[in-house]
Chains A and B, each alone.
Chain A
């Protein structure tokens, strides 16, 4: 990042304290993801039926669940899995969707047709339903959740990368590189890809929140992560049955953490967009 960009970033953060706040939260979440298991005060899997469904206390900050596990420790440890799933899926679709959109915009013709039709096909489904179908068909595992979340975001990435590439191609400097004797693939990867990188980074930060929500939603209905693994969606699902009898903490803490995480990433996404691409501010 150049000095000017850094200055601009600092300006955006000072202009918009909300972005600074989101940045602070983001650091907390990353720390929790990295250090969670070693910071957790209790074993997230250790049950103790004597202590089942205890409300929050000094001993158990978020209370305990139906088999006496410490909810705070579980929420903390789950951070790595939830953020990891989202980050992996976003990285995957960044690579796949970015490359497909790049190729579609660069080569046009049948490459464009195939990529476009694939994206259209995905868009023909309600996205969450498609994600359910993919996980159901491929099997109930974490990698399949990552894959499904990446697939439903694919059209979005393709569209952005394709539009940017077409714009760059029409600007003429691709032709210039070709005339200078570069091979097609070389031009594509060395000349065009770096140019569309900033806008793709914006896209990544904007979809991160949605990816977290999607993965948690899938595990809420019993797809992907399985009990007793600590994961926010599944913890909310487990806590759901206790809501009607008033044991709110079982669902509230993992749910609220999930919500704050998504909120943080959405704010951060807006902030990153303002820094990289001020035009698109709404």
Chain B
């Protein structure tokens, strides 16, 4: 328990770094921040007004302090495009991104981990070769391009998928918000029609993300399973005559999953970035497309809020991964 608290405290420097860097990026670097925040159509007068409002005429440490204070109050500024507080926008859109990213990750793990295991257990088999091709090809895929290819094949050619225009088709209405995940919220009220619509919309973008995350997970699973299968304790288990099921699943796999879990941190780093591109391709109303729209409109506060949210999410995900690792590995608990 104390170890867990220590680990929680351990993410504070990362959080501090994130806050400082976002501050530097938006306030300190060259370029007129007031113009940037005011938007392209602002008059000289309103720019001056914004400069005072943002406190850009005050010294940097003071600016930083008020920035931090505002953050603690959840004040991320206003979006010029939507006219709403950025925090409100982001909270409303976060579940869409989270649902998509998690589905993509689960999909990738469901395929990549068994594939990596089979490739390692049956070295040189068809599965092994398939695994190697997927690993090399997978990291070469531009995620926005695979998304478009899938749309062309499954929407335009085959007509199996709905148009890539958001989370629901035009006739369905969003289920009452409980978790913000449409699949869960629709299931909760038993509205299976909405569920099906949400599911149909989710499949292609989730597969796109899944294809993207497949390669690193399959690669590390295969490598770590191979290493574990050659380990001395596996030889002991075989010498003790344990059933091969027990050896592979209980002895080898549990050990092999430790590096896989650790690698998920890196996978998330890629996935959160890829998420932005996929959201743009599928007009997915998440925080990624929110940021892209704001970028195009030169609307500063949403971009800053987006970067901060993503970074905080990433720190939290890394923390979660660490805690899972502690639960799985007694040696990590000790340290």
User: Is A in direct contact with B (CB under 8 Å) within the complex?
Assistant: yes
Which residues of A are in contact with B by a Cβ distance under 8 Å?
A: 117, 120-121, 124-134, 136-139, 209-210, 213, 216-217, 220-223, 233, 236-237, 239-240, 243-246, 248, 251-252, 255-256, 258-259, 262-263, 266-267, 270, 282
Nearest CB of A to B211, in Å = 12
Question: Which 8 A/B pairs are nearest by Cβ-Cβ distance?
Answer: A128-B273, A255-B145, A126-B272, A263-B140, A121-B17, A137-B25, A124-B14, A262-B140
Shortest Cβ distance from residue B320 to the other chain A in the assembled complex, whole angstroms? 15
A256 CB to closest chain B CB (Å) equals 8
Evaluate whether A213 and B142 lie within 8 angstroms (CB atoms) in the complex, with A221-B276, A244-B155 already known.
yes
The residue that A136 contacts in the complex, of B139, B295, B311, with Cβ under 8 A, is B295
Extra inter-chain contacts (12) besides given A221-B277, A267-B136, CB under 8 Å: A121-B14, A121-B21, A128-B276, A137-B26, A137-B31, A138-B29, A217-B144, A217-B277, A222-B292, A222-B296, A259-B140, A262-B142
Which of A125, A258, A263 has a CB less than 8 Å from the CB of B18? A125
A258 with B137: CB separation less than 8 A: no
Query: Does any Cβ of A come within 8 Å of B270's Cβ?
Result: yes
* In the complex, per-residue mask of B154-167: 1 if CB is within 8 Å of any chain A CB, else 0: 01100000011000
- Dominant SS among interface residues on chain B: helix
Task: Tell me the minimal C-beta distance from B110 to chain A in angstroms.
Answer: 23
Minimum CB distance partner of A222 in chain B: B296
- A120 to B10 CA separation, bound complex (whole angstroms): 13
A sample of 26 cross-chain residue pairs with beta-carbon separation below 8 angstroms, ordered by A number, consists of A121-B14, A124-B315, A126-B268, A127-B269, A127-B270, A129-B306, A130-B311, A131-B273, A134-B25, A136-B295, A137-B26, A139-B31, A209-B140, A213-B142, A220-B280, A221-B292, A221-B295, A222-B296, A223-B295, A233-B144, A246-B152, A246-B156, A255-B148, A258-B142, A258-B145, A282-B223
- Does B281 interact with chain A (Cβ within 8 Å)? yes
Most buried by A among B144, B311, B314: B144
Are A129 and B156 CB-contacts (below 8 A) given A209-B139, A262-B140? no
Compute how far the CA of A243 lies from the CA of B148 in the bound complex, rounded to whole angstroms: 7
Given contact pairs A124-B14, A129-B276, A270-B136, A243 touches B311 in the complex (Cβ within 8 A): no
Residues in A whose Cβ lies below 8 Å from that of B292: 221-222
A206 to chain B, nearest CB (A): 10
Q: Which residues of A contact B29 (CB under 8 A)?
A: 137-138
**B107 shortest CB reach to chain A, Å:** 19
- CB <8 Å contact, A221 and B136: no
B311 touches A129 (CB 8 A): yes
With an 8 A cutoff between CB atoms, is B213 at the interface?
no
Are A259 and B151 neighbours in the complex by a CB distance under 8 Å? Answer: no
